[in-house]
């Protein structure tokens, strides 16, 4: 059975697929600028109903206590989605503009398979820990620690890796026993809405456990931060919006979990193979047109090798042009929208105003008259104080900066409001370890190492976020801790 809606996708509220009370909104293919379909447009009242359903499902059913049932539902969802893999992969490329090669990884199959990891956690987690006896105030007591689901999760997600981020929230949240209201980004509503259709029609999730509310209006999602019936807001998006979510959530003092922006550094030490390091840095920044929060967007190279590094990076980037995302060989697809294109073009103009040199790229590809494409762009001639070296651009734009040795490279990497990720290339293990220890970020790769996996916690230091997603740490974000004591 095909999932693609004949007209608009629906909302999933309290187990039912329903239209949005505000009608529908268009979804645009970023590679062609064609309208591919519509999504249900929810109102504040729809969101209110969804929150009520999630609250009821949490408070009045066994969902949070039946670990085996939750594991079964998660595996059922994984298998049902994999049965639709061909269609969902194609739709991801159409809606998100992501290169096809990524759909067998983080843009579809990776996160869907990760549901199995979270199902295993639900089954195997140590929910109760016996602390044995103690004599507080002279009275013998037996104590235990119980882990319990936090409650209702308000999940708010962005457009760049919609399946990955949606499942990195609903997977652990549901495995932990929470109920969820997911509010995806307006640019990529189908990635979530079609999962809602599969949940409603092909799984045993009880009504209200998962609710999916698409909306063109950011303020509908903002209700999740303020509504006292929501126990935790799990947000991924820009740092600016994350600050608003945290401020709004403070009113009802709910938990906040934030995955935010980044400006990660790719550090090349002077004993590294410069050419392969620069090739990897180029590949990283053009992948999905640089629209990844953890992508390394500052390339720090030894000052004495700067010219050589510029040439190697320029050649590598020029060999990875912005292309049709449906081509199997494409690494760099389009940006998501006209707004993002304008934003990236604005940053390239700013780099020139700041005195930077555009080594390659800098404009829209000559062979494209449609689609939100921008050429992979390398900027030199600036130091780390330039705005293009400090602010998140979210495009295939790399700033190359000279460093004066390992300590200086660590200093520059840390001279950022962000602390999400990073990479170091080198040969000497002690020097690599010093860099890994010195850089204040939530993840670090060494010589091309890939940390992305279901069991690896991901998240940021500093203004890149609060908390960790994925892994046991990501699962525990959705748990409370209860201490119980009785006279022994």
Catalytic center residues: 259, 293
* Helix locations, 103-154, DSSP H: 109-124
Question: Which residue, 159 or 475, has its beta carbon nearer to ligand NAD?
Answer: 159
Question: Which residue, 297 or 330, has its beta carbon nearer to ligand NAD?
Answer: 297
Q: Which residue is nearest to ligand NAD (CB)?
A: 237
CB of 466 to ligand NAD, least distance (A): 11
For residue 3, the tally of other CB atoms under 10 A from its CB is 18
For residue 440, the tally of other CB atoms under 10 A from its CB is 16
Question: Which residue, 76 or 441, has its beta carbon nearer to ligand NAD?
Answer: 441
For residue 267, the tally of other CB atoms under 10 A from its CB is 31
Tell me the three state secondary structure of residue 180. strand
Question: Which residue, 337 or 357, has its beta carbon nearer to ligand NAD?
Answer: 337
Nearest to 217 by CA among 187, 240, 242, 186: 186
Question: Which residue, 237 or 321, has its beta carbon nearer to ligand NAD?
Answer: 237
CB of 345 to ligand NAD, least distance (A): 16
CB of 306 to ligand NAD, least distance (A): 28
Residue 376 φ/ψ, nearest 5 degrees: -55, 130
**Quick one: 355 exposed, middle or buried, by C-beta within 10 A (0-12, 13-18, 19+)?**
exposed
List, in order, residues 6 or more apart from 331 with CB less than 8 Å away. Answer: 99, 101, 283, 286, 287, 320
Q: Let me know: does 314 contact 376? Beta carbons within 8 Å.
A: no
List, in order, residues 6 or more apart from 119 with CB less than 8 Å away. Answer: 70, 71, 72, 74, 75, 78, 175
Question: Which residue, 169 or 197, has its beta carbon nearer to ligand NAD?
Answer: 169
Q: Which residues bind ligand NAD (CB under 6 A)?
A: 156-160, 165, 183, 185-186, 218, 221-222, 225, 236-238, 241, 244-245, 259-262, 293, 392, 394, 420, 460, 465
- E strand spans, 165-207: 179-183
User: CA torsion, points 343, 348, 351, 353, in degrees to nearest 10?
Assistant: -90
CB of 315 to ligand NAD, least distance (A): 28
CB of 204 to ligand NAD, least distance (A): 28
Report the alpha-carbon distance of residue 99 to residue 232 in Å, rounded. 33
Nearest to 58 by CA among 124, 125, 153: 153
CB of 218 to ligand NAD, least distance (A): 4
Nearest to 67 by CA among 140, 158, 128: 128
CB of 249 to ligand NAD, least distance (A): 10
CB of 205 to ligand NAD, least distance (A): 22
Distance of CA 99 to the CA centre of its chain: 17
Question: Which residue, 43 or 357, has its beta carbon nearer to ligand NAD?
Answer: 43
Tell me the three state secondary structure of residue 482. strand
Give the angle 240-244-246 at the CA atoms, nearest 5°.
115
List, in order, residues 6 or more apart from 383 with CB less than 8 Å away. Answer: 389, 401, 402
CB of 288 to ligand NAD, least distance (A): 11
List, in order, residues 6 or more apart from 350 with CB less than 8 Å away. Answer: 387, 388
Question: Which residue, 237 or 457, has its beta carbon nearer to ligand NAD?
Answer: 237
Question: Which residue, 364 or 462, has its beta carbon nearer to ligand NAD?
Answer: 462
Q: How many CA atoms lie within 13 A of 206 on its CB side?
A: 20
Go through 361-385 and write b for each residue having 16 or more CB atoms within 10 A of its CB, e for each that does not. Answer: bbebbeebeebbbbbbbbbbbbebe
CB of 365 to ligand NAD, least distance (A): 23
Question: Which residue, 223 or 377, has its beta carbon nearer to ligand NAD?
Answer: 223
């Amino acid at each position: 059975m095909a999932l693609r809606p004949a007209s608009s996708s629906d909302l999933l509220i309290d187990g039912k697929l329903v239209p949005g009370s505000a009608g529908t909104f268009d979804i645009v293919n970023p590679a062609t600028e064609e309208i591919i379909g519509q999504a249900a447009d929810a109102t504040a009242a729809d969101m209110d109903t969804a929150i009520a359903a999630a609250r009821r499902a949490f408070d009045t059913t066994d969902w949070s206590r039946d670990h085996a049932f939750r594991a079964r539902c998660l595996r059922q969802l994984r298998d049902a989605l994999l049965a639709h893999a061909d269609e969902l992969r194609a739709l991801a490329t159409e809606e998100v503009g992501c290169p096809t090669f990524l759909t067998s990884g983080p843009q579809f199959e990776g996160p869907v398979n990760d549901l199995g990891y979270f199902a295993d956690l639900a089954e195997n987690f140590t929910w109760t820990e016996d602390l044995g006896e103690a004599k507080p105030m002279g009275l013998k007591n037996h104590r235990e620690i119980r882990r319990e689901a936090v409650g209702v999760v308000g999940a708010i997600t962005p457009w760049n890796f919609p399946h990955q981020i949606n499942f990195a929230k609903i997977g652990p949240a549901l495995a932990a026993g929470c109920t969820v209201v997911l509010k995806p980004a307006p640019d990529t509503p189908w990635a979530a809405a079609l999962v809602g259709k599969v949940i409603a029609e092909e799984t045993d999730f009880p009504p209200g456990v998962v609710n999916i509310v698409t909306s063109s209006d950011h303020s509908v999602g903002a209700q999740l931060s303020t509504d006292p019936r929501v126990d935790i807001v799990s947000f991924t998006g820009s740092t600016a919006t994350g600050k608003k979510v945290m401020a709004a959530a403070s009113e009802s003092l709910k938990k906040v979990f934030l995955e935010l922006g980044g400006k990660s550094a790719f550090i090349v030490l002077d004993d590294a193979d410069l050419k392969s390091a620069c090739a990897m840095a180029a590949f990283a920044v053009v992948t999905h047109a640089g629209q990844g929060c953890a992508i390394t967007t500052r390339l720090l190279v030894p000052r004495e090798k700067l010219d050589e590094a510029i040439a190697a990076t320029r050649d590598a980037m020029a060999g990875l042009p912005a292309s049709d995302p449906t081509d199997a060989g494409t690494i760099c697809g389009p940006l998501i929208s006209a707004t993002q294109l304008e934003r990236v073009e604005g940053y390239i103009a700013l780099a020139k105003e700041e005195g930077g040199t555009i080594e390659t790229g800098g404009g829209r590809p000559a062979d494209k008259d449609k689609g939100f494409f921008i050429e992979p762009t390398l900027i030199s001639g600036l130091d780390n104080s330039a705005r293009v070296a400090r602010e998140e651009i979210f495009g295939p734009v790399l700033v190359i900066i000279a460093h004066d040795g390992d300590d200086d490279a660590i200093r520059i990497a840390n001279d950022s409001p962000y602390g999400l990720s990073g990479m170091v290339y080198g040969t000497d293990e002690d020097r690599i370890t010093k860099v890994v220890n010195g850089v204040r970020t939530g993840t670090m790769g060494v010589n091309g190492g890939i940390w992305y996996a279901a069991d690896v916690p991901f998240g940021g230091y500093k203004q890149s976020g609060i908390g960790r997603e994925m892994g046991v740490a990501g699962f525990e974000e959705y748990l409370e801790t209860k201490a119980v004591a009785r006279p022994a």
